A and B are shown apart, each in its own frame.
Chain A
Amino acid sequence: MYRYDSYDQAMVDARVEEFRDQTRRRLSGALTEDQFKPLRLMNGLYLQLHAYMLRVAIPYGTLSAPQMRMLAHIARTYDKGYGHFTTRQNLQFNWIRLEDAPDILADLATVEMHAIQTSGNCIRNISADQYAGVSADEVADPRPWAELLRQWSSFHPEFTYLPRKFKFAVIASEEDRAAMRLHDIGIQLVERDGVVGARLFVGGGMGRTPMIGHELRDFVPESALIAYLEAALRVYNRYGRRDNKYKARIKILVHELGIDDYRRQVEEEFAAIGAQGIEPPVEELARIRAFFAAPDYETGLPETVDRSDPDFALWLDRNVAAHKAPGYAIANVSLKPVGGIPGDATAEQLDLLADLAERYSFGELRTTHSQNVVLPHVRKADLPALWQALDDAGLGTANLDRITDMIACPGLDYCALANARSIPLAQKISERFARAGKAETLGELKLKISGCINACGHHHAGHIGILGVDRKGTENYQLLLGGSAAEDCSLGHITGPGFDEDGVVDAIERVTDLYLARREDDERFLDTYRRIGMAPFKEAIYD
């Protein structure tokens, strides 16, 4: 894992002092709320319905056991004893007092963490494949590249007041576990003629106007990546729309210009910027890469696992993925217990995850955009003991990528933007489909719920998506089918008129029953939908 040197530490320490001073000026009245707002947002502090929310950055979703323990400490000391993992691999605390925020940032800085640029109209936390460094199908570990981008984008002087927020994701496999094509800029590391470089996609995103990213460039070598991105961001900063915040993301600029014209402008800017000496030398990426060297895996470990306990065997089949090192496995910890709040974890659970990471996973953890946690390096022989410890703490749910492993935004229970509640609906769906093993029968089925049109719960990209809207003062839920955030990226389509809370659960039941009746061979729900189309599903729902 990356470790701060004295430069990195000085940056976060200075940031804590800066924010302490800004908070002091806000509390004294020297700063108006309008003036303070962008400053607090760039430190992850967001005003919700009932309290401030602090969003802590987990760069590229990698964290250490001591860092996880610090999150538990903050949950216990400054919040109500729990935290919420987000779709950007971050963790947010929903019950924070403004007066405490500088102290929390100071606590985070002691474990090389921060909340820098987790909100605001700036470059946000860089996300990445949660299996980085451990999956056999990657061309390189994407995390050193993401760390290079983290440093480049932190306090970037030109791109601090962009038209709107800007999100990067970095992957290095054909399989996309990070929704790369739905980012403002998605980076896929590829190998061309034996050299690893970046294939860039631009203009993806969800929100009110969902779009899939266009290829911007097939290959940018590591010796030009920062200059190229600087050019891409500069064109956006200069020409992205600022007259309407709902048309201000780069996807709208790319859509209005067309990808070819946008690309031409970026290439012109790149030609001008390339000679400015702004590119870190390749030795800097090599320096960062050394931190991500594989841990000292043992050799000669057994490959077989005792499957005699059926509950354990199910968890093994659902939540455990192949690791590139013999004798090891990737263990996914579901934060979606039946009837629970998706992505929530208590301080005790966070502490336990830290302990288990130390005992079984070289002290390392990952977070996923699906709001789960990963222990990336577990000896297969340790899997039964790990599962037992997880299960004892309510963390052993065997439902990865099942309908009950849903993404849900905080919704109207917390968020000032929401039109409808997401959490109670998620709980109802979870309970309905956990019953009689139906979730298991349905196989892979990604369900995503947003409580408003801003799409924080990724409803456009759900195999089944749910969008909460306000219909004449009552909560109403629209149903979407056919989205995907993976390498087969697609946007879902609305089935028709919306439903109340119980009605949408019933509609999902009808949709999934039709799938079970019509599926062929090993088809997933999404495959059947793509084969037979919307019409039979509509008929099943509305007739």
Chain B
Amino acid sequence: MTDLFDLRSAEAPSAPLPADVKPLSLEAFLAAPGNATAVRLEPGDDARALLPHCDRLALVEVSFPVFGDGRGYSSARLLREAGYRGELRASGDVLVDQLAALRRCGFDTAAPDAPLDAAVAKASLTRFADVYQAAADGRTPIWARRAGKEG
């Protein structure tokens, strides 16, 4: 694993957790949560199983073994919709051209297998001034801007 990449803007409220935190698998966490505050979700895991535990979790790491498997985007969004406020981290085959969508689905950080070009990453996160949909990042969708609502 390379360095953590912070997807949030400079005024992010808190620093991410260290890159070497070792989250439990969902199965291990559900079997014996102990004092664990970090869980790792694989693409086939049901993120809803974590909903009763949202308050105690500080980190949910969502694994992307291959970038083309988009299940992790739904996992992230439904955790955010259920009120999870801890860190959401995308790990694995995370590429620079996925960052904007990850951010929109509520991810805070990325732990990519291969290092990201910082300049390209920044450009990809800031390229679209507006967005068409409401998602998990709190951005005001275009339809709300048109209606004069700044969300």
Listed in ascending order, the chain A residues whose CB lies under 8 Å from chain B are 5, 7-8, 10-11, 14, 17-18, 21-22, 25, 30, 35, 38-39, 121, 151-152, 154-163, 234, 237-238, 242, 272-273, 276-278, 280-281, 283-284, 287
Contacts and interface: CB of A to CB of B under 8 A. Distances in A.
B1 interface: no
B134 A277 contact: yes
Nearest to B130: A7
Nearest to A7: B142
30 contacts: A7-B146, A10-B129, A10-B130, A11-B128, A11-B130, A14-B128, A18-B124, A25-B120, A35-B97, A39-B97, A121-B68, A155-B131, A157-B101, A157-B133, A157-B135, A158-B70, A158-B104, A159-B70, A160-B73, A161-B67, A162-B70, A163-B70, A234-B77, A234-B78, A237-B71, A272-B81, A273-B81, A276-B81, A277-B134, A280-B143
Contacts of B97: 22, 35, 39
Contact of B147 (A35, A121, A273, A281): A281
Contacts of B127: 14, 17-18
B74 interface: yes
Contacts of B73: 157-161, 237
A126 to B, nearest CB: 13
Given A10-B129, A160-B101, A280-B141, 17 more contacts: A7-B146, A10-B128, A11-B128, A11-B132, A17-B127, A35-B95, A38-B68, A39-B97, A157-B73, A157-B133, A158-B74, A159-B70, A161-B69, A234-B78, A237-B71, A276-B81, A281-B147
A21 B135 CA distance: 25
Interface in B74-129: 74-75, 77-78, 81-82, 95, 97, 100-102, 104-105, 117, 120, 123-124, 127-129
Given A30-B117, A281-B147, A234 B74 contact: yes
A158 B135 contact: yes
A283 B100 contact: no
Contacts, number: 104
From B73, B95, B104, B131, residue with most partner A Cβ within 10 Å: B73
B145 interface: yes
A156 B69 CA distance: 15
Contacts of B104: 157-158
Given A280-B141, A284-B146, A161 B129 contact: no
Given A17-B127, A21-B120, A157 B100 contact: yes
Interface string B37-73: 0000001000000000000000000000001111101
Q: Which 5 A-B pairs have the closest CB atoms?
A: A161-B70, A157-B104, A157-B101, A280-B143, A278-B134
Given A7-B145, A39-B97, A14 B129 contact: yes
A158 B129 contact: no
Contacts of A30: 117
Contacts of A121: 68, 70
Contacts of B78: 234, 272
Contacts of A22: 97
A278 B77 CA distance: 12
Contact of B77 (A11, A14, A158, A277): A158
B74 A151 contact: no
Nearest to B137: A157
Contacts of A17: 127
A35 B93 CA distance: 10
A5 B81 contact: no
A237 B143 contact: no
B145 to A, nearest CB: 7
A316 to B, nearest CB: 43
Given A17-B127, A155-B128, A238 B134 contact: no
Contacts of A163: 70
Contacts of A158: 70, 73-74, 77, 101, 104-105, 135
B117 A242 contact: no
Contacts of A11: 128, 130, 132, 142
Contacts of A238: 71, 74-75
A31 to B, nearest CB: 8
A27 to B, nearest CB: 14
A469 B97 CA distance: 38
B17 to A, nearest CB: 23
Contacts of B129: 10, 14
A154 B146 contact: no
Contacts of B142: 7-8, 11, 151
Nearest to B107: A157
A183 to B, nearest CB: 20
Nearest to A10: B129
Contacts of B123: 21
A18 B75 CA distance: 26
Nearest to B68: A161
Contacts of B117: 30
Given A22-B97, A30-B117, A152-B133, A157 B74 contact: no
A159 B72 CA distance: 11
Contacts of A151: 132, 142-143
A11 B130 CA distance: 7
B73 to A, nearest CB: 5
Contacts of B145: 7
A156 B74 CA distance: 12
Given A14-B129, A155-B128, A272-B81, A160 B146 contact: no
Nearest to A156: B133
Contact of A287 (B70, B131, B146): B146
B52 to A, nearest CB: 15
Contacts of A25: 120
A276 B82 CA distance: 10
Given A158-B135, A161-B73, A273-B81, A283 B101 contact: no
